[in-house]
Structure 1
């Protein structure tokens, strides 16, 4: 079964934002970040990440 949701990892976030991996983890810990925790793993749905990023540009 194929999912309609693309899930991003901390490495993906670091690449997209062009920041270090530790900085990506710091960003992902923000209270307004749409983080999904799966055990110790941290993930985010691609569309929710881009919605969040767009909202950050409006600040």
Structure 2
């Protein structure tokens, strides 16, 4: 079974080259594959890559 890797808001901001507040706004978009873990927001690395290939930020 393949391990699923998750990215947090800071990692999304680094990947997109934007600030943390901008990354949070992007993660709240309806088309973003967001996963809530308690109060934390995560996205699977694979879903993020697929999303970023299909969308303009």
TM-score, with structure 1 as normaliser? 0.88
Number of corresponding residues: 55
Residue matched to 2:3: 4
Residue matched to 1:27: 26
Structure 1 gap segments, 5+ residues each: none
Structure 2 gap segments, 5+ residues each: none
Residue matched to 1:48: 47
SS at match of 2:41: strand
Max radius of gyration: which structure?
1
Deviation sequence 1:28-52 (CA, Å, 0-9, x none): 0000000000111000000000000
**RMSD (Å) for aligned C-alpha atoms:** 1.1
